[in-house]
């Protein structure tokens, strides 16, 4: 691959991710509005939000780590996008693979955790503690799912995984071949998004939005950007693993939005779990499904 | 003369009987002087056994009385050995009795168990340690220090 | 319970040993050594009492060991019982018959004792037997007169020199290029008093030694009724 | 020259008889007699070792050819232990001067003489006599510390030892009745025909239990802790270091020469294993130094018994190596105990006040648990490789027990070491025997230096020991050396 | 005589020990010793050819003792471990020079003993690593055990008790190995590696089982494998300062070295794989793998509950050992490489972490996680080092810990071991949780009022820490550097060799190129920074200028969220900490205590005559009947 082409891909992939991510945020809010019988925000509302947050006057910094944390949160996802193949672009997916991607997705959490820690707000620290606990909860089923998929494909290379599914047509899709894993993955994905009923670390009524408690202006803006990337990454990853990726941009985006629509629709119907209930839930059903699914794969 | 089976049996059982009586006395009696006496009995049995080892039918004492053709004599070696063994026994008994005299003077008892108790106490006192007799609160430090519940809590660790 | 077990065990052990011992040939010993000794003893030691030739010749070192044991026992008793003897007056003195009987028996016992010692190589008897009688000779007056004391210094002198002379006789043999404790045979007529070379000398040493040891042991025991 | 060997037994006896008399007239001369005799003994034995041709020889006492008379059998092993006896006798000489000095020194001379005899003698009954002499002089010396506890300990020991003697005598009677001889070589010759049966085995076991009393064999060693705790430390060192080994040596000789039955070794093995377990575990809870050392001594002797049960040459090598090592270590440790005395709790922070003693303790402890370059390791290595090579599963148990015991041993020894190196001394350490404090520390340092010397020279020493073991193991050589011509009267 | 490089190394190391012993009390002792460690490192580098090939360098000394020949030599395996050993000793020693030394002396420490113990540890470890046969291996093994004891026990008090516990475990391990060696000797007739290699094929299954159990448990105790792990955390944690960095970095890896040498190289994974456990589906190798996995999980989650930084790190040290064993046991090219590489990586970050914590202790006097906080503004460089370290420990990109863990995961994936894989990941997640607690409670959150004046750690400490941090990052960026060594180690011990590149690993089933990954990651950070700083300037406010629960904070109010950090998690899993192993240890101790009591009773209440009689009866009865 020509270097120029690669550099182009590497710049385009995060950019596309950002744009699609903003759309996903929009969709999420629209769905919420529909459920709550509201009108919902306009099309460009996410962009407005970002611009607004970044241009605020009062920008309170609690120190360098506070800044770096936000940068890491954004940067981690930006890097992750280049490992996530989209139609026509593979980026450096072949040089990392799915495990690397999984671990790169933890970098933002770590960055956020550092940034929040520097703020010395106990609510923030509690939020981070909860966030990490939640990570422990949903990553276990997620890892089982990823193991199953990677083992079935015989590779950790996402490009190959996608190629295999596309080669076999619909019947070779992960979701068809490994329905149990697909269900487990969906639940884990839902939890990883941190939406209701799993939003234990935001928990506005308990710990005043936890990690976000000391964030304002561009800090919150950074988090907003991060959320865009997060929604994109999660859904695209799911699509790549189970729904055969995308042959064209159209079906790729369609699948991504549809996948995301499921947790988002469910999210607004439920109240919040307690931390230990989240753990219990995550370690029971998805893990069980996942293990059974893996047993089938083996 | 036909070897008399009964005589053989009687002699051997006498020797072994003495040993058994002696041993039983040592185990059963608590008074130390009796135990010394039991030891004497047991020794007599062993000596008898030794003498029997050299006995010979139709033989005379191993003393040459006439020159020339000797009559059959019993084996002189066990006799010499028994002589030695008896004297050794005497020496030990005398020593035992003299020790018993001293013990009686010190502890005013010759009872085996009481003696042992007093001795144990004296050893412990000399060494400067507490006596390790209580089953409820056994003394002595463990080489692997037990970790107390509070320490575990303080470290926050349990595994 | 323990008594019963003890009794059973002791009986059981006796029975077991008996069941082994009964297999021995009784009355017809192999006499591998005994026979050899019987045939050679006269020429080699010159003692008609073969037991003596075994005790002092063939197994002389055993006898030395045995003397040492007696010596050790006496020394230990001396160590343990110490020198404090305060028995005088605590016991009632013996009567006239006892006292004078004791005195009269003394020379008699001495004579018998020495006789037995000196004829040890000829007839039954010998240093041990004679020595015990000697000890009895000294001990008898002590029983008769509780206040009386044996002279410990003399006793230890006797026991020391008697033991030493036993060893020295052995060493002289060694010095002369023979083996330790090898009987130095002077060709004599068998069966007379002065025969059998150094054996009677050894027996004299044994006798004196045994006598002195036993006497000192007994006197220690007798005289240390109470201390503190 | 060879005949002079007899002097190593005769001279101490002579000295013992004369010592009380000489001391009465001249104390100054008297005190030097004992050391002089023992020193001369060392010289004789050392000379023999250095200038001998390495071949075993036999000395007929009284000039009577061996099967009839009594003989001393002198091979490298006997010589080694005889030398050790004289040397340790010299090192642990009771110098203390008081009114009992003559008797104590005389008894010590007797003890040395009889121990030497035990190492050299080649006659069963003669061994018994020497064994009894060892016992009686030991009783006297223990009781000489004249505390009530010492008396009780002595009488308990005495009675036990007395029963042992009865059993030994009984065993000897059985053997004599069966074979008609007492000479070990002669017995070795006859054994395959006449003693390879129940009777021979029973006789051996009776002797084993009898002599086992001194060798600290498992159930008959109950005297050990109390005696070592009450006797003078120097005596305890001599008893634990040497006398027990000599008894062990006698058992080994009998086993090698006469009683080849597998049952015999099995009994020894089982009792040895039990000894290891009981000794080491008991030591784990001991709270005073002496008793700890006594229990540990029981455990170590148990290990040596396990080695005795090994059938071939390397087994003998293991016995020798372990015995000599234990001799060195236990003597040193008892000397340290003499230096410190008392309970283990008082040792807290002691290393700061007396760094040499602390260092020595650590050195001895390390060697005892078998820290590699130290000689203890090589002894243990020989043992376990030999144990592992046996097919009988019982040996495997022995191996495991041995390993377990070593762990426990390390645990309790280093508990003491850690206590000593604690920073804050809680109270001033009481030196038990003020007059011998410096002396015992010097003696302990001597053993420490010896240990280091052995560490450096472990390779040549190991080879020498191997040769010794090979010689000791050779039954035919023994028989040939002692009985130069076959006995005419043999039936 | 011409000295081989190995002779030089050993002589150098011995000289270091001598210098420490003789001049250890002097002023510049620390520097001198450090320079000598540097010399050792140079000698090692002189031998660098070893790291890239399967040649062997012999030492000129060898002994012939009691029929056993002892020899010493270095190969790639030894060199790899020696490099880590000497390097961590060099840095730890450097760290201890100057200020730490002074404060240690002021607090009553014995600096002479410290330097000597360190030098002794290095020396004995090199001897162990150089062992040329099983006997010299055991000698080195015991020496290392006791040297470690010295270093652990020297602080006195709690440390001595921890060290006592260690030595009891270590002795047990040593004896297991000793027994194993005896068995090997009998089976092979020699303790030379060649002889054993040929003998292994003839061994019966029972023999092999016994050997695997004895060697495995013996070496495993040193590694802190379950269930023998209890000693390690307190022993390492209580070792003074840089000593704990050194021990944590390399000491327990000696166990892994021995496992590699004996179980993997001599016995062979294939043979171990053939040992089936009756009535189950698993074999000895699975058993080892499961032990490794439980060693990962349980100590990691125990670490999460620790409230002392050093204890927390030490517990993690145990857990990370599990990854190494896991990788080695999986034993394909990637797993082996992962396990071995993790040794290197773990040494780097564990040393860095311990040093950072020691620096904090040096400045604040405590390592209690509930008594620290907010130090990032006072000790920013230490913070960076700790951050780099924890990222490495947690195994996240871009640090080196990620690479080795990635390799282990990949091998588990390739071999199709979902449960092991899952368990390994759970361990990583647990690590992330607990290291965040570590960095949060020390450096983030509220700065305590008494730490207001704390200064950054002195340069004598900072430089080695920064060097370590740099190594952690660079070997994360270019894992090919250590992987080259690892590959030759794999070759030497007979594992399949991994196909490495400078940036990672090539594989048909998914490769890794850390250069690219880190490249995009930093590019991502750059873009993030651009986005972030494109917005207006932010106002720097005091840390306490915020609200919690609608109330402002002030410096005198302790408002740090530190205790029971993962309350929600503990609410669920808190009950699962049963202290089973402590219970096990205690019950073993009590059992020994009880037997001991019985045995003493046997002797104290002795009815000697009865014993004698019954023994006599039994043995004679046995003969008769």
Do D328 and D346 reside in the same domain of the chain? yes
Could you give the C-alpha distances from D49 to D74, D81, D149, in angstroms and in order?
Answer: 10, 12, 42
Residues A117/A213, Cβ–Cβ less than 8 Å: no
Over residues E33-57, the pLDDT tens digits come to 888 888 888 888 888 888 787 788 8
Contact C9 E613 (CB under 8 A): yes
**Lowest-confidence range among C48-62, D271-285, E210-224, E435-449?**
C48-62
Give residues 76 to 115 of B whose Cβ lies within 8 Å of D.
77-78, 81, 84-85, 88, 91-92, 95-96, 99-100, 102-103, 106-107, 115
Q: Which residues of D309-334 are buried (b: 16+ CB within 10 A; e: fewer)?
A: bbbebbbbbbbbbbbbbbbbbbbbbb
pLDDT at C122 over 80: no
Residue among E426, E302, E412, E411 at smallest CA distance from A141? E426
Residues E439/A125, Cβ–Cβ less than 8 Å: no
Strand A60-61 relative to strand E539-540: parallel, antiparallel, unpaired?
A: parallel
Over residues D222-281, the pLDDT tens digits come to 888 888 888 888 888 888 888 888 998 898 888 888 887 888 888 888 889 999 998 889
pLDDT at D490 over 50: no
Over residues E185-229, the pLDDT tens digits come to 888 888 888 888 888 888 888 888 888 888 888 888 888 888 888
E near C: at least 3 beta-carbon pairs less than 8 Å apart: yes
pLDDT at C192 over 70: no
Interface probe with D: pick from C15, C180, C181, C183, most Cβ of D within 10 Å: C180
Contact E623 D423 (CB under 8 A): no
Do D114 and D126 reside in the same domain of the chain? no
- What is the per-residue pLDDT for A81? 86
Over residues A282-296, the pLDDT tens digits come to 788 788 888 888 787
User: What mean pLDDT do residues D173-177 have?
Assistant: 86
Which of D381, D387, D418 lies nearest to residue E164, judging by beta carbons? D418
D299 and chain E in contact, CB less than 8 A: no
Contact E66 D378 (CB under 8 A): yes
Measured CA to CA, the distance from residue D269 to residue D307 in angstroms comes to 8
pLDDT at D433 over 60: no
Q: Assign residue B26 the CATH number of its domain.
A: 1.10.287.3510
- What is the per-residue pLDDT for D437? 58
Over residues B71-123, the pLDDT tens digits come to 777 788 888 888 888 888 888 888 898 888 888 888 888 888 788 888 888 88
E209 and chain D in contact, CB less than 8 A: no
Residue among C154, C145, C155, C140 at smallest CA distance from C104? C140
- What is the per-residue pLDDT for D424? 57
Do D35 and D134 reside in the same domain of the chain? no
- What is the per-residue pLDDT for C228? 42
Contact C73 D64 (CB under 8 A): no
Over residues A170-192, the pLDDT tens digits come to 777 877 778 888 888 888 888 88
**Lowest-confidence range among A219-223, C70-74, D318-322, D434-438?**
D434-438
Do D117 and D169 reside in the same domain of the chain? no
Neighbours, chain B (3 or more CB pairs < 8 A): C, D, E
C120 vs B67 pLDDT, higher one: C120
pLDDT at E492 over 80: yes
pLDDT at D491 over 50: no
Question: Taking all residues of chain E, what is their mean pLDDT, rounded to a whole number?
Answer: 84
Chain D contact set for B120 (CB, 8 A) = 226
pLDDT at B136 over 70: no
**Lowest-confidence range among A279-283, E76-80, E438-442?**
A279-283
Q: What confidence category does residue D434 fall into, taking pLDDT thresholds of 50, 70 and 90? A: very low
- What is the per-residue pLDDT for C186? 62
Q: What confidence category does residue C167 fall into, taking pLDDT thresholds of 50, 70 and 90? A: confident
The CA distance from A154 to the nearest CA of chain E, in Å, is 6
Structural domain spans, chain E: 276-533, 580-624
pLDDT at E354 over 60: yes
pLDDT at D315 over 70: yes
Which of A123, A144, A279 lies nearest to residue E422, judging by beta carbons? A144
Do D361 and D331 reside in the same domain of the chain? yes
- What is the per-residue pLDDT for E11? 86
A near C: at least 3 beta-carbon pairs less than 8 Å apart: no
Measured CA to CA, the distance from residue E490 to residue D262 in angstroms comes to 49
Q: What confidence category does residue D61 fall into, taking pLDDT thresholds of 50, 70 and 90? A: confident
Secondary structure, 3-state, E156-190: CCHHHHHHHHHHHHHHHHHHHHHHHHHHHHHHHCC
The CA distance from B70 to the nearest CA of chain E, in Å, is 41
**Lowest-confidence range among A203-217, B2-16, E114-128, E310-324?**
A203-217
Contact D148 B107 (CB under 8 A): yes
Interface probe with D: pick from C54, C65, C208, C228, most Cβ of D within 10 Å: C65
Measured CA to CA, the distance from residue E363 to residue E375 in angstroms comes to 10
C199 and chain B in contact, CB less than 8 A: no
Which of E138, E179, E616 lies nearest to residue D167, judging by beta carbons? E616
**Lowest-confidence range among A163-177, A198-212, D391-405?**
A198-212
Contact C16 E624 (CB under 8 A): yes
Is residue B39 a part of any domain in this protein? yes
pLDDT at D129 over 60: yes
**How much of chain E exceeds pLDDT 70, in percent?**
96
Which residue stretches of D180-258 are H helix? 184-194, 198-212, 223-230, 233-238, 244-257
pLDDT at E513 over 50: yes
Chain B contact set for D135 (CB, 8 A) = 92
E238 and chain B in contact, CB less than 8 A: no
Q: How many domains does chain D contain in total?
A: 2
User: What mean pLDDT do residues E495-517 have?
Assistant: 81
Over residues E249-308, the pLDDT tens digits come to 888 888 888 888 888 888 887 777 777 777 777 788 888 888 888 888 888 888 888 888
- What is the per-residue pLDDT for C225? 52
Question: Taking all residues of chain A, what is their mean pLDDT, rounded to a whole number?
Answer: 82
Q: What confidence category does residue B158 fall into, taking pLDDT thresholds of 50, 70 and 90? A: very low
Neighbours, chain C (3 or more CB pairs < 8 A): B, D, E
Chain D contact set for B26 (CB, 8 A) = 159, 163
Contact B43 D162 (CB under 8 A): yes
Question: Taking all residues of chain D, what is their mean pLDDT, rounded to a whole number?
Answer: 83
Residue among E328, E433, E415 at smallest CA distance from A147? E415
In chain D, the residue whose alpha carbon lies closest to the alpha carbon of C67 is: D133
Do D39 and D23 reside in the same domain of the chain? yes
- What is the per-residue pLDDT for E470? 92
Over residues E62-119, the pLDDT tens digits come to 777 777 788 888 888 888 898 899 999 889 888 888 888 888 888 877 888 888 888 8
Contact D229 B129 (CB under 8 A): no
Chain E contact set for D415 (CB, 8 A) = 164
Which of E512, E521, E532 lies nearest to residue A222, judging by beta carbons? E532
Chain D contact set for B74 (CB, 8 A) = none
Which of B49, B103, B139 lies nearest to residue D152, judging by beta carbons? B103
Q: What is the DSSP string of E264-299?
A: IIII-HHHHHT-BPTTSS-BHHHHHHHHHHHHHHHH
User: What mean pLDDT do residues E489-514 have?
Assistant: 82
Q: If DSSP codes are grouped into helix, strand and coil, which group holds residue D103?
A: helix
In chain A, the residue whose alpha carbon lies closest to the alpha carbon of E443 is: A118
Q: If DSSP codes are grouped into helix, strand and coil, which group holds residue E133?
A: strand
Contact C33 D63 (CB under 8 A): no
Could you give the C-alpha distances from D329 to D433, D436, E511, in angstroms and in order?
Answer: 21, 19, 61
Contact C33 D183 (CB under 8 A): yes
B135 burial level (CB within 10 Å; 0-12, 13-18, 19+): exposed
Neighbours, chain A (3 or more CB pairs < 8 A): E
User: What mean pLDDT do residues B29-41 have?
Assistant: 88
User: How many CB atoms lie under 10 A from the CB of residue A58?
Assistant: 9
User: What mean pLDDT do residues D67-76 have?
Assistant: 83
**How much of chain A exceeds pLDDT 70, in percent?**
95
E near A: at least 3 beta-carbon pairs less than 8 Å apart: yes
- What is the per-residue pLDDT for D487? 42
**How much of chain D exceeds pLDDT 90, in percent?**
2
Contact E581 B159 (CB under 8 A): yes
Contact D113 C68 (CB under 8 A): yes
User: What mean pLDDT do residues E488-497 have?
Assistant: 84
Residues A136/E430, Cβ–Cβ less than 8 Å: yes
Spatial neighbors of E576 by CB under 8 A, at least 6 apart, are: none
Measured CA to CA, the distance from residue E336 to residue D347 in angstroms comes to 50
Give residues 57 to 76 of D whose Cβ lies within 8 Å of C.
59-64, 67-70
pLDDT at D322 over 60: yes
Chain E contact set for D380 (CB, 8 A) = 178
Residues D280/D408, Cβ–Cβ less than 8 Å: yes
Give residues 552 to 581 of E whose Cβ lies within 8 Å of D.
none
Over residues A93-136, the pLDDT tens digits come to 777 788 888 888 888 888 888 888 887 777 788 888 888 888 88
Do D428 and D316 reside in the same domain of the chain? yes
Is residue D486 a part of any domain in this protein? no
Chain C contact set for B9 (CB, 8 A) = 22
Chain D contact set for C171 (CB, 8 A) = 7, 10, 14
- What is the per-residue pLDDT for B2? 45
The CA distance from E614 to the nearest CA of chain C, in Å, is 6
Over residues D456-489, the pLDDT tens digits come to 888 888 888 888 888 888 888 888 888 775 444 3
Which of C18, C55, C128 lies nearest to residue B12, judging by beta carbons? C18
Contact C62 D177 (CB under 8 A): no
Do D195 and D96 reside in the same domain of the chain? no
pLDDT at D428 over 60: no
Structural domain spans, chain C: 2-223
Q: Which domain holds residue D74?
A: 1-121
Measured CA to CA, the distance from residue E438 to residue E433 in angstroms comes to 9
Neighbours, chain E (3 or more CB pairs < 8 A): A, B, C, D
Over residues A24-37, the pLDDT tens digits come to 888 888 888 888 88
In chain C, the residue whose alpha carbon lies closest to the alpha carbon of B104 is: C226
Is residue D491 a part of any domain in this protein? no
Contact E613 C6 (CB under 8 A): yes
Which of C21, C29, C179 lies nearest to residue D61, judging by beta carbons? C179
Q: What confidence category does residue D291 fall into, taking pLDDT thresholds of 50, 70 and 90? A: confident
Is residue D319 a part of any domain in this protein? yes
B near A: at least 3 beta-carbon pairs less than 8 Å apart: no
């Amino acid at each position: 691959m020509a270097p120029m082409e690669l550099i182009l891909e590497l710049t385009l992939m995060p950019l596309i991710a950002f744009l699609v991510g903003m759309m996903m945020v929009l969709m999420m809010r629209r769905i919420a509005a529909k459920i709550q019988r509201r009108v919902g925000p306009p099309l460009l509302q996410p962009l407005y939000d970002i611009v607004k947050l970044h241009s605020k006057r009062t920008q309170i910094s609690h120190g360098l780590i506070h800044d770096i944390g936000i940068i890491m949160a954004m940067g981690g996802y930006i890097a992750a996008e280049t490992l996530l193949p989209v139609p026509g672009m593979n980026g450096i997916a072949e040089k990392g693979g799915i495990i690397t991607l999984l671990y790169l997705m933890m970098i933002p959490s770590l960055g956020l955790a550092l940034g929040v820690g520097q703020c010395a707000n106990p609510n923030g620290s509690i939020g981070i503690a909860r966030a990490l606990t939640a990570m422990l909860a949903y990553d276990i089923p997620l890892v089982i799912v990823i193991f199953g998929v990677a083992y079935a494909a015989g590779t950790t290379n996402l490009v190959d995984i996608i190629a295999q599914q596309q080669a076999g047509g619909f019947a070779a899709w992960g979701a068809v071949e490994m329905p149990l894993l697909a269900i487990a993955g969906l639940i884990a994905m839902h939890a990883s998004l941190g939406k209701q009923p799993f939003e234990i670390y935001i928990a506005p009524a308990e710990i005043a939005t936890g990690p976000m408690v000391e964030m304002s202006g561009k800090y919150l803006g950074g988090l907003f950007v991060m959320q865009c990337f997060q929604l994109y990454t999660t859904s695209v990853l799911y699509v790549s693993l189970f729904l055969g990726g995308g042959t064209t941009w159209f079906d790729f985006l369609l699948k991504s939005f549809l996948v995301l629509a499921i947790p988002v629709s469910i999210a607004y119907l439920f109240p919040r779990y307690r931390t230990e209930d989240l753990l219990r839930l995550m370690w029971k059903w998805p893990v069980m499904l996942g293990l059974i699914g893996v047993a089938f794969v083996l | 003369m036909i070897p008399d089976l009964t005589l053989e049996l009687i002699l051997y059982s006498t020797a072994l009987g003495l040993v058994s009586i002696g041993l039983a006395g040592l185990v059963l009696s608590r008074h130390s002087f009796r135990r010394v006496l039991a030891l004497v009995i047991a020794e007599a049995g062993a000596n008898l056994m030794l003498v029997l080892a050299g006995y010979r039918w139709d033989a005379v004492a191993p003393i040459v009385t006439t020159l020339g053709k000797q009559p059959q004599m019993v084996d002189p070696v066990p006799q010499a050995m028994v002589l030695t063994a008896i004297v050794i026994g005497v020496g030990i008994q005398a020593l035992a009795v003299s020790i018993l005299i001293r013990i009686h003077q010190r502890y005013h008892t010759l009872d085996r168990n009481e003696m042992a108790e007093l001795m144990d106490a004296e050893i412990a006192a000399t060494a400067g340690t507490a006596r390790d007799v209580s089953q409820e609160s056994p003394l002595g430090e463990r080489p692997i220090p037990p970790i107390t519940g509070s320490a575990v809590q303080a470290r926050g660790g349990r595994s | 319970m323990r008594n019963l077990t003890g009794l059973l065990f002791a009986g059981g052990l006796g029975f077991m040993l008996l069941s082994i011992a009964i297999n021995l040939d009784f009355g017809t010993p192999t006499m591998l050594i005994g026979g050899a000794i019987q045939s050679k003893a006269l020429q080699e030691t010159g003692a008609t009492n073969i037991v003596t030739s075994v005790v002092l010749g063939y197994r002389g070192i055993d006898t030395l060991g045995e003397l040492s044991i007696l010596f050790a026992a006496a020394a230990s008793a001396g160590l343990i019982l110490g020198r404090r003897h305060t028995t005088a007056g605590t016991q009632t003195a013996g009567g006239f018959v006892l006292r004078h009987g004791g005195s009269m028996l003394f020379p008699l016992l001495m004579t018998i004792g020495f006789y037995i010692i000196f004829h040890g190589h000829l007839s039954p008897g010998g240093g041990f037997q004679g020595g015990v009688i000697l000890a009895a000779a000294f001990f008898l007056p002590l029983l008769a007169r509780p206040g009386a004391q044996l002279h410990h210094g003399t006793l230890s002198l006797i026991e020391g020199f008697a033991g030493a002379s036993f060893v020295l006789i052995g060493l002289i043999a060694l010095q002369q290029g023979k083996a330790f404790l090898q009987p130095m045979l002077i060709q004599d007529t068998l069966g007379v008093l002065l025969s059998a070379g150094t054996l009677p000398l050894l027996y004299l040493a044994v006798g004196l030694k045994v006598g002195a040891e036993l006497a000192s042991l007994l006197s220690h025991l007798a005289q240390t009724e109470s201390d503190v | 020259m060879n005949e002079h060997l007899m002097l190593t037994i005769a001279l101490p006896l002579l000295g013992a008889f004369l010592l009380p008399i000489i001391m009465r007239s001249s104390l100054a001369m008297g005190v030097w007699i004992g050391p002089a005799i023992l020193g001369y003994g060392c010289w004789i034995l050392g000379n023999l070792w250095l200038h001998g041709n390495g071949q075993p020889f036999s000395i007929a006492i009284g000039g009577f050819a061996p099967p009839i008379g009594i003989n001393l059998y002198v091979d490298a092993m006997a010589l080694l232990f005889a030398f050790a006896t004289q040397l340790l006798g010299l090192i642990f000489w009771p110098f203390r001067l008081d009114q009992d000095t003559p008797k104590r020194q005389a008894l010590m001379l007797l003890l040395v003489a009889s121990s030497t005899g035990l190492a050299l003698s080649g006659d069963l009954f003669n061994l018994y006599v020497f064994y009894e002499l060892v016992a009686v002089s030991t009783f006297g010396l223990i009781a000489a510390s004249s505390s009530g506890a010492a008396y009780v300990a002595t009488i308990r020991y005495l009675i036990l030892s007395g029963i042992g003697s009865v059993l030994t005598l009984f065993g000897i009677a059985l053997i004599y009745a069966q074979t008609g001889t007492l000479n070990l070589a002669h017995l070795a010759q006859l054994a395959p025909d006449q003693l390879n049966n129940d009777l021979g085995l029973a006789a051996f076991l009776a002797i084993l239990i009898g002599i086992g009393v001194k060798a600290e064999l498992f159930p008959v060693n109950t005297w050990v802790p109390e005696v070592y705790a009450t006797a003078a430390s120097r005596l305890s060192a001599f008893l634990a270091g040497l006398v027990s080994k000599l008894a062990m040596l006698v058992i080994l000789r009998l086993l090698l020469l006469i009683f080849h039955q597998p049952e015999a070794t099995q009994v020894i093995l089982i009792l040895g294993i039990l000894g290891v377990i009981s000794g080491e575990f008991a030591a784990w809870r001991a709270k005073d130094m002496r008793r700890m050392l006594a229990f540990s001594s029981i455990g170590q002797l148990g290990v040596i018994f396990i080695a005795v049960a090994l059938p071939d040459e390397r087994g003998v090598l293991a016995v020798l190596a372990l015995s000599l090592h234990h001799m060195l270590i236990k003597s040193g440790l008892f000397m340290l105990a003499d230096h410190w005395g008392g309970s283990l709790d008082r040792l807290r922070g002691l290393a700061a006040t007396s760094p040499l003693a602390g260092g020595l303790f650590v050195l001895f402890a390390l060697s005892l648990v078998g820290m590699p370059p130290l000689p203890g390791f090589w002894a243990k290595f020989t043992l376990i490789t030999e144990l592992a090579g046996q097919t009988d599963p019982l040996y495997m148990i022995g191996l495991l027990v041995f390993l377990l015991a070593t762990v426990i041993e390390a645990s309790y020894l280093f508990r003491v070491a850690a206590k000593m190196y604690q920073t804050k001394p809680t109270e001033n350490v009481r030196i038990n025997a003020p007059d011998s404090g410096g002396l015992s520390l010097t003696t302990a340092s001597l053993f420490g230096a010896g240990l280091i010397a052995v560490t450096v020279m472990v390779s040549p020493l190991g080879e020498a020991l191997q040769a010794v073991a090979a010689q000791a193991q050779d039954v035919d050589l023994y028989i040939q050396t002692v009985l130069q011509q076959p006995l005419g009267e043999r039936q | 005589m011409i000295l081989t490089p190995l002779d030089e190394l050993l002589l150098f190391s011995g000289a270091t020990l001598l210098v420490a012993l003789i001049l250890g009390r002097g002023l510049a002792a620390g520097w001198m010793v450090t320079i000598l460690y540097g010399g050792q490192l140079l000698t090692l580098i002189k031998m660098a050819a070893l790291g890239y090939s399967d040649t062997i360098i012999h030492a000129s000394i060898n002994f012939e003792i009691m029929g056993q020949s002892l020899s010493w030599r270095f190969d790639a395996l030894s060199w790899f471990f020696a490099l880590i050993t000497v390097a961590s000793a060099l840095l730890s020693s450097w760290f201890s020079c100057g200020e730490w030394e002074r404060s240690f002396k002021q607090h009553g420490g014995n600096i002479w003993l410290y330097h000597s113990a360190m030098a002794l540890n290095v020396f004995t470890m090199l001897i162990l690593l150089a062992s040329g046969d099983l006997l010299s291996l055991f000698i080195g093994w015991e020496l290392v055990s006791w040297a470690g004891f010295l270093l652990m026990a020297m602080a006195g008090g709690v440390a001595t008790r921890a060290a006592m516990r260690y030595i009891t475990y270590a002795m047990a391990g040593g004896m297991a190995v000793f027994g194993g060696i005896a068995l090997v000797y009998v089976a092979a007739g020699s303790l030379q590696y060649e002889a054993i290699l040929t003998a292994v094929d003839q061994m019966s299954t029972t023999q092999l089982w016994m050997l695997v159990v004895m060697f495995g448990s013996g070496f495993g105790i040193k590694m802190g494998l379950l269930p023998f792990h209890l000693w390690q955390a307190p022993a390492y944690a209580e070792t003074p300062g840089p000593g704990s960095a050194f021990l944590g970095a390399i000491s327990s890896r000696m166990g892994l070295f021995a496992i590699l040498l004996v179980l993997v190289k001599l016995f062979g994974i294939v043979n171990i794989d053939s040992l089936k456990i009756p009535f189950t589906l698993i074999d000895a190798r699975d058993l080892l793998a499961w032990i490794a996995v439980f060693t990962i999980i349980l100590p990691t989650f125990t670490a999460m509950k620790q409230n002392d930084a050093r204890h927390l790190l030490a517990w993690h040290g145990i857990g990370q050992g599990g990854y190494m064993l896991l990788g080695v046991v999986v034993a394909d090219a990637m797993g082996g490489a992962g396990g071995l590489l993790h040794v290197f990586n773990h040494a780097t970050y564990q040393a860095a972490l311990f040093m950072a914590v020691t620096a904090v202790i040096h400045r604040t006097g405590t390592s209690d996680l509930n008594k620290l906080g907010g130090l990032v503004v006072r000790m920013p460089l230490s913070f960076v080092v700790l951050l780099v370290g924890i990222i490495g420990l947690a195994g996240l990109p871009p640090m080196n810990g990620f690479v080795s863990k990635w390799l282990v995961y990949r091998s588990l994936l390739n071999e199709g071991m979902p449960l092991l894989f899952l368990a390994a990941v759970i361990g990583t997640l647990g690590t992330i949780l607990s290291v965040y607690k570590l960095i949060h409670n020390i450096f983030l959150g509220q700065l305590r009022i008494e730490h207001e004046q704390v200064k950054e750690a002195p340069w004598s400490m900072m430089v080695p820490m920064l060097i370590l941090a740099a190594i952690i990052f660079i070997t994360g960026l270019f894992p090919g550097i250590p992987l080259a060594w690892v590959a030759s180690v794999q070759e030497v011990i007979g594992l399949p060799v991994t196909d490495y590149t400078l940036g990672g690993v090539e594989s048909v089933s998914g490769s890794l190129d850390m250069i690219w990954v880190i490249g995009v990651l930093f590019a991502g950070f750059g873009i993030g920074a651009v986005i972030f700083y494109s917005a207006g300037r932010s106002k720097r406010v005091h840390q306490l200028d915020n609200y919690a629960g609608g109330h402002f904070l002030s410096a005198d109010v302790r408002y740090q969220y530190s205790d029971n950090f993962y309350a929600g998690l503990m609410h669920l899993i808190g009950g699962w900490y049963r202290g089973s192993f402590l219970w096990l240890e205690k019950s073993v101790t009590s059992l020994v205590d009880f037997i001991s009591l019985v045995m003493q009773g046997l002797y104290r209440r002795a009815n000697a005559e009865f014993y004698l009689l019954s023994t006599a009866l039994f043995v004679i009865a046995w003969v008769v009947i």
